[in-house]
Amino acid sequence: MFKKAKGTQDYLPEDQAVQNYIFNIFRMLAGRYGFKEVESPAFEDVKLLSKKSGDENTQQIFRLEKKGDEDLGLRFDLTVPLTRMFVEQEKSLPKPVKWSYATRMWRYERPQAGRSREFYQVGVELFGADDPRADTEVINLILDIFQTLGFNENDIELRLNNRKLLEGLLLEEVLPNKITEVIRIIDKKSKLPKDVYLEELKKIGIRDPNKLDQLLEITLFERLENIDKNALATEGFNELKAIWPLLQKKFVTLSLSTARGLDYYSGTVFEVFDKSGKFRSLCGGGRYDDMVEAFGSKSCATGFSIGLSTLTLLLKDKKKLPELDLGVDYYVAPVKEFEKDAYDLVAQLRSKYSVETDLSGRNLGNQIKYANTIGAKNLIVFGEDEKKSGKVKVKNLATGKEEEKNIKEL
């Protein structure tokens, strides 16, 4: 017997209904913010996927069999492909460019809860606006999505930081060529025992890891404003200061240890977590102007992505999923000699409703049993009396109540 590939998921109707529920809310809200949905090829040149992606992501690329000079791999996010799309089309596009997506990606990694080799994400990329209000736009969209899904400030928090601010503060403690290594350790802070975390910082060359840790623990904006900052840290702080008044503060926490490990983030960064700490990051994003420049443009960009696997786990854990109805509106059960007339009724009803009918030659008893099994809302038995009278009895299968209706009225 064949089984699905490791790290993948089969989406049965119930699973697909949950995914569609999330997709529909995302598409509705992204559309209200003016984002237009796009799609990219599933595979790209490996050189493109590797550009400004970090060693970890490069190692996780699903590579296709090499044919001739082509070296292709499956996309692991949409930020890289959409940046390529934007740069290719930049001259003809009015700015800012606001794109959204709801689609699947691939990563070759060890599967675990909330993390698969094939997975779905929703997200947006906003190109061509260097004003901090563009960052506010995507953050407020994130918070609207989570609130529409039923979460409040007791369920989730958005941790906000700025890479320039963080790097500027780190330059007071470490040599410039060690900054990237330190940021990767800081980004894993929540996953490491504190003594291991401090020891890792010390190995890299942080003179006083405890002092740095105390600095990273600052969560009050006012306190951060009063500490000494070099030019780079001041630039990052001013970017945060510009968006701070425009955010829904009840959801937002200043978090200097939120670093977003990917190499391409260059300014404001953020992640969304459930406050219980039970699940991995629900959403992440930020500004990545440097990557757009590395792709040959003088423009800028910001955006986010939300992974559906972890989000779905949280929705189920918090009981935030509504009752998702998969039942058809009508089941028409024909008496054998009157199947043709019953099928005419089915065709008529399908102009407005979802309808099922017998496809297996079942007797009436088994048809009615099947209608209940699939969650049909209403049952119509069609036979000689119905053909002669032009009327049918519509039975509500939830209440058992019957109502006679003229077929033409249906």
Which pLDDT score, from 0 to 100, does residue 53 have? Answer: 59
How far, in Å, are 45, 309, 352 from residue 268 at the CA level?
28, 25, 49
Which pLDDT score, from 0 to 100, does residue 52 have? Answer: 62
DSSP H/E element including 87:
helix 79-89
DSSP H/E element including 72:
strand 72-74
Which pLDDT score, from 0 to 100, does residue 261 have? Answer: 60
Below-70 pLDDT ranges, the chain: 52-57, 114, 261-262
Which pLDDT score, from 0 to 100, does residue 373 have? Answer: 96
Side chain identity, residue 182: V
d(CA 237, CA 163) in angstroms, rounded, equals 10
Name the packing angle between helices 194-204 and 209-216 (round to 10°): 120
Domain 330-406 has CATH 3.40.50.800: yes
DSSP class per residue in 90-139: GGGSPSSEEEEEEEEEE--S--BTTB-SEEEEEEEEEES--SHHHHHHHH
Which pLDDT score, from 0 to 100, does residue 106 have? Answer: 95
At the top level of CATH, which class does the domain 13-317 belong to?
alpha beta
Residue 277: CA count within 13 A, CB half-sphere: 2
DSSP class per residue in 229-259: --HHHHHHHHHHHHHGGGS-GGGEEE-TT--
Which pLDDT score, from 0 to 100, does residue 226 have? Answer: 87
How far, in Å, are 48, 126, 374 from residue 84 at the CA level?
8, 13, 46
DSSP 8-state assignment for residue 5: P
d(CA 393, CA 403) in angstroms, rounded, equals 6
Q: Provide the whole-model pTM.
A: 0.90
Which pLDDT score, from 0 to 100, does residue 223 have? Answer: 86
Are 13-317 and 330-406 equal in CATH topology?
no
d(CA 356, CA 350) in angstroms, rounded, equals 9
Domain assignments of the chain as residue spans, ordered by start: 13-317, 330-406
Which pLDDT score, from 0 to 100, does residue 58 have? Answer: 76
pLDDT digits (tens, 9 = 90+) for 266-318: 899 999 999 998 988 999 999 999 999 999 999 999 999 999 999 999 999 99
Side chain identity, residue 156: I
d(CA 173, CA 202) in angstroms, rounded, equals 11
Which pLDDT score, from 0 to 100, does residue 221 have? Answer: 82
Beta carbons within 8 Å of 381's beta carbon, 6+ residues apart: 333, 335, 364, 368, 392, 393
